[in-house]
Structure 1
Amino acid sequence: MSSVTAADYGWIRSSSSSSLFRYALEVGYTLTLVRGVSPTAVFGSVRAEPRGVCVGLGELVEEHGEFLEDWDDWPESSLVGAFTVPGDGGDWTLVLDLGGDLGTRPGFMAALSVGTRAVSHSSNGGKPMHFFHWYENGELRTTFESDAVRTGSTPDDLNALIGEVGLNPHGDDAPDVDRKAAVFALTERLTGLRVTEELLRDAEYRLGEVPEGPAEEWQGVTIDITDAHGERTYVRVERDQL
């Protein structure tokens, strides 16, 4: 098994001009990995409109900027790039949705993972909301925003891996650990796929325009408050508890 940790993903915060992933962190993104499902099948499952091909993350960022210019207000769809790369158990499709929520849609992820595994993580850009999802054969096994507050059918199954990549499933994370880098490392532990700056920079992306997803029936609410003294209160209340 891979021994990757958060330290192996320090490149996502690089100040170098080549660190194009900084754009994804700024505008928001979802990065989804699914085993054994082609980009064509992924796009077909969400009725994405094909938008051609681009080479490299730099071109994808340019395409995304032009895509946003076509909308007078906030777009009602998102531009998604996908390509296939080897990982544990065969080929995986990597789907990068800039500014969109594709990898956080429960219906899409459940259907995508039937008979296989799908893992996604995301950020909504300016607001401090970062999610992780692990699906196995149509079932949401573990999901979290704070790694110490997990839900899913098996919320504790990843506790050992969460600790090994640098997080703390039982309390506050160490202040010097980059939580986003740690989530990249956790994703690699589950997929065997190392996402590098070079991989994203040089890949040939198949592009698709994904329509806005249907409204999902809400399942619960999260209360996340930090007071003036830096004390954080984080509570997840499920719908059946209300």
Structure 2
Amino acid sequence: MHCVTSATAADYGWIRSSSSPFRYALEIGYTLALVRGVSPAELLTLAGAEPRGVCVGLGELIEQHQELIDESDDRDECVLAGACTVQSEQGDWTLALALGGDLGSPGFMETLSAGSRAVSHSSNGGKPMHFFHWHENGELRTTFEWPTVRSGSTPDELNAVMREVGFDLTDEEAPDVDGKAAVFALTERLTGVRVTEKVLMAAEYRAGEVPEESGEEWESITIDITDAYGERTYVHVRKDQL
């Protein structure tokens, strides 16, 4: 089921170099996804992204994201995604890189992976929150923030591969492991796609502004509280009362 590659965290040390264009993504927050069977245009359409032309190379994508921030009153709402085609021994994949946030709702990757595979990882920028997700046929198979605390329908299926790429599954604070580089290597093991600085800098990205996810409309809520003595209290609150 998993691709036969020898990728380890050591292959992705370049993401931390002072000259790496990916440092911008690490600083501002990002989502990187690899999806098989969905074209770049289809991915952006499913994400509800507003088209913003084509960017040649990650440098142009970063410039356009900075322009988007300059145009906006709220930097946190500015998410620009670029999608391009990349190859592996399994065929074509779409690489999507969202700068500034997520590609879509939590269910978005489930939709993309229907009948196929989607692997993604993300960071929210300066705060220490980093996530990995593996979806297969619309099912979330393995996901984690900390490699020692996994969930999904098959949370332990990748354990052997995770150890091979560099994760220490016995210690959450393993100081010698670059968790982000290890996640890149784990993604390569699942897709066969090696993401390099050259790949990111040479790609032609279809760009699109990803809309902020909005919550569902609601008119009222009911709060049900049970105290230590078993007494239940119901409070019904309308939106116009808040």
Structure 1: give runs of 5+ residues left out of the alignment: 217-242
> Is 1:208 matched up with 2:208?
yes
Q: Would you say 1:2 and 2:5 are equivalent positions?
A: yes
Report the Cα distance in structure 2 between the residues aligned to 1:173 and 1:75, rounded to whole angstroms: 29
Q: Which has the larger radius of gyration?
A: 2
- The one-letter amino acid of 1:203's match is A
Tell me how far apart the structure 2 counterparts of residues 141 and 113 of structure 1 sit (CA, whole Å). Answer: 11
CA distance in 1, matches of 2:96, 2:41: 11
Contact 2:65/2:78 (8 A) holds in 1: no
Change (3 A) 1:126 1:75: closer
Q: TM-score, normalised by structure 1?
A: 0.84
Give the Cα–Cα distance (whole angstroms) in 2 for the partners of residues 130 and 187 of structure 1: 14
1:184 corresponds to: 184
State the match for 2:195 in structure 1.
195
Q: Summarize the alignment of residues 99-178 of structure 1 with structure 2, pairs less than 5 Å apart.
A: 99-102=100-103, 105-172=105-172, 174-178=174-178
Q: Any residues of structure 2 matched to 1:11-160 within 5 Å, and which?
A: 11-16=14-19, 19-102=20-103, 105-160=105-160
8 Å contact 1:167–1:173 — kept in the other structure?
no
Q: Distance in 1 between matches of 2:78 and 2:108?
A: 15
Q: Deviations over 1:199-235 (max 9, x none)?
A: 001111110111112449xxxxxxxxxxxxxxxxxxx
- Output the CA distance in 2 between the equivalents of 1:11 and 1:72: 33
Amino acid at match of 2:72: W
Alpha-carbon distance change, 155 to 199 in structure 1, aligned in 2, over 3 angstroms: same
Return the TM-score normalized by structure 2: 0.84
For the residue of structure 2 that corresponds to 1:9, the secondary structure is helix
Q: Distance in 2 between matches of 1:50 and 1:71?
A: 17
Distance 1:76 1:15, change over 3 A: closer
Number of residue pairs aligned between Structure 1 and Structure 2:
213
RMSD (Å), alpha carbons: 1.4
Corresponding position of 1:238? none
- Tell me how far 1:75 sits from its aligned partner: 4.8
Separation in 2 of the partners of 1:101 and 1:114? 19
Runs of 4+ in 1 over 4 A off after TM superposition: none
Q: Check whether the contact 1:36–1:90 (CA below 8 A) recurs between aligned residues.
A: no
1:31 CA displacement:
0.2
Measured at CA, do residues 137 and 214 of structure 1 come closer, stay the same or move farther in structure 2, by a change above 3 Å? Answer: farther
**In structure 2, how many angstroms separate the alpha carbons of the residues matched to 1:90 and 1:173?**
37
Distance 1:102 1:169 in 2: 28
- Paired with 1:126 and 1:88, the residues of 2 have a C-alpha distance of 35
Matches of 2:26 and 2:172 in 1, distance apart? 23
Give the C-alpha shift of residue 88 in structure 1.
4.1
Question: Is residue 168–residue 177 contact of structure 2 (8 Å, CA) maintained in 1?
Answer: no
83-92 or 141-150: bigger deviation = 83-92
Identity %: 69
Task: Spell out, residue by residue over 1:43-100, the C-alpha distance to the aligned partner (whole angstroms, 9 max, x if none).
Answer: 1112211110010111111110001111112353521101001124221000000011
What's the secondary structure of 2:114's corresponding residue?
A: coil
